[in-house]
C-alpha cells in the first residue's frame, strides 16, 4: 500500500496514521501574501501517486480554501487521486432550511468537497435529517463510528455508568455504546430556541441515583446543550456527570464554561486536537484507510 500523506494543519492523527503505514508525512508549505491570499507549494514528486489529505474541518471557513488549493495543486502535479480524511466534517448541522430565505449550506459544502476530492473518510458526521452522506456527497465516503472507542474508555474509566443522550438524534450512538458495555441509557428531550438558548427535560431518574451519569454528544459547539443537560442532571440530584464529546469543537469560551459547571470530567475523541482528548480514534481511521486501498 503506497500513498503520500499531507496534513496542511498538522493534525496529530496524521502522524499516528503515517507511522502505522510506515511512511513519512509529505511536506507542503502555505505562503500567505500580505493581502491574505495563499499559495501552496509541494517540494516532492507526487506524479502518479495516490494522495491523502488528513485535516479536520472545524473552523471550516478559514481552512477550506487553502485545503482545496492543496488538493488542486496535488492533482496539477500529476497525483493519480486525492482523498480527504477529515476526522471532523463541518457544515453537517445545516441540514434543512430552518427559516425562509436561508441557504442549504450542508449541500453546497458537500458539492464543493465532492468536486475536489475523489473519496472521503470521516468520523460520525452529524447525520440527523440526512440518513447517509450519499444524500448530499457524490464521492465515495466511508464513515467511521467512534462508539467502540468511547465504549472502551467508559468501560475502563467509569464505574456503574448510566449513559445519557441530550437529544433524540444522539440516541443512535448512545444506544450503540450502551449495548457494547451493557449499561442502561436514556435520552433527553431537547428544544433549541436559538444558538444560545437550549432547554432539555429529564425523565424520572430515581433508579439511577447510585449510577455515574455519562453525558454523550457528538458535537460540542457553543456548549449550551451540554451545559443545560448538566444543569438538569444536577437538579435531579444525580452524581456529577462525566461528559464525552466525539467532536470537541468548543466555540468561544464553551470549554471554560463547561469546566466551571458541576461536572466530574470532560473528555473527547481526538478528531479535533484539544486538551480534553482522551479517546483515540486513530486505529478506526487506519482500518478505514486500509479498506479504501484494499
Work out whether 163 is an interface residue with ligand R5P (CB under 6 A).
no
Question: Between residues 71 and 243, which has the closer beta carbon with respect to ligand R5P?
Answer: 243
Do residues 83 and 139 make contact, with C-beta atoms less than 8 angstroms apart? no
Distance in Å from the first CA to the final CA of the chain: 8
Residue 42's Cβ-side half-sphere holds a number of Cα atoms within 13 Å equal to 25
Q: Minimum distance from CB of 247 to ligand R5P (Å)?
A: 9
Do residues 160 and 210 make contact, with C-beta atoms less than 8 angstroms apart? yes
Out of 211, 217, 230, 284, the only residue in the binding site for ligand R5P (CB under 6 A) is 217
| Site map 76..105 versus ligand R5P, x via CB under 6 A | -----------------x------------
Work out whether 248 is an interface residue with ligand R5P (CB under 6 A).
no
Question: Between residues 66 and 125, which has the closer beta carbon with respect to ligand R5P?
Answer: 125
Work out whether 141 is an interface residue with ligand R5P (CB under 6 A).
no
Dist CA 184 CA 203 (whole Å): 14
Helix residue ranges per DSSP H, the chain: 12-20, 60-76, 105-116, 147-157, 171-181, 224-235, 254-259, 282-292
Out of 136, 198, 258, 279, the only residue in the binding site for ligand R5P (CB under 6 A) is 198
Work out whether 125 is an interface residue with ligand R5P (CB under 6 A).
no
Dist CA 276 CA 283 (whole Å): 19
Out of 224, 229, 288, 289, the only residue in the binding site for ligand R5P (CB under 6 A) is 224
Work out whether 247 is an interface residue with ligand R5P (CB under 6 A).
no
Do residues 144 and 288 make contact, with C-beta atoms less than 8 angstroms apart? yes
Residue numbers at the binding site for ligand R5P (CB under 6 A): 93, 166-167, 169-170, 198, 217-225
Amino acid at each position: 500500500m503506497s500513498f503520500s500523506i499531507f496534513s496542511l494543519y498538522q493534525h496529530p492523527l496524521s502522524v499516528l496514521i503515517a507511522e502505522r503505514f510506515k511512511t513519512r508525512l509529505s511536506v507542503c508549505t502555505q505562503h500567505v501574501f500580505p493581502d491574505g491570499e495563499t499559495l501552496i507549494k509541494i517540494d516532492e514528486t507526487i506524479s502518479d501517486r495516490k494522495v491523502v489529505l488528513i485535516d479536520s474541518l472545524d473552523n471550516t471557513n478559514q481552512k477550506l480554501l487553502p485545503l482545496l488549493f492543496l488538493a488542486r495543486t496535488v492533482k496539477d502535479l500529476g497525483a493519480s487521486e486525492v482523498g480527504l480524511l477529515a476526522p471532523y466534517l463541518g457544515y453537517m448541522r445545516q441540514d434543512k432550511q430552518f427559516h425562509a430565505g436561508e441557504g442549504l449550506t450542508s449541500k453546497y459544502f458537500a458539492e464543493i468537497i465532492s468536486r475536489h476530492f475523489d473519496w472521503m473518510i470521516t468520523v460520525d458526521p452529524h447525520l440527523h435529517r440526512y440518513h447517509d452522506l450519499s444524500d448530499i456527497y457524490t464521492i465515495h465516503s466511508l464513515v467511521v463510528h467512534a462508539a467502540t472507542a468511547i465504549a472502551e474508555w467508559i468501560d475502563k474509566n467509569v464505574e456503574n455508568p448510566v449513559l445519557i443522550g441530550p437529544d433524540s438524534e444522539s440516541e443512535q450512538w448512545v444506544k450503540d455504546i450502551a449495548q457494547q458495555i451493557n449499561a442502561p441509557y436514556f435520552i433527553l428531550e431537547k428544544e433549541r430556541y436559538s444558538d444560545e438558548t437550549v432547554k432539555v427535560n429529564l425523565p424520572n431518574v430515581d433508579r439511577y441515583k447510585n449510577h455515574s451519569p455519562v453525558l454523550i454528544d457528538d458535537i460540542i459547539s457553543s456548549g449550551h446543550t451540554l451545559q443545560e443537560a448538566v444543569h438538569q442532571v444536577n437538579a435531579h440530584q444525580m452524581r456529577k456527570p462525566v461528559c464525552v464529546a466525539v467532536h470537541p469543537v468548543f466555540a468561544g469560551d464553551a470549554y471554560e464554561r463547561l469546566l466551571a459547571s458541576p461536572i466530574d470530567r470532560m473528555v473527547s475523541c481526538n478528531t479535533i486536537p484539544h486538551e480534553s482528548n482522551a479517546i483515540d480514534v486513530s486505529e478506526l481511521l487506519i482500518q478505514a484507510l486500509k479498506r479504501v486501498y484494499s
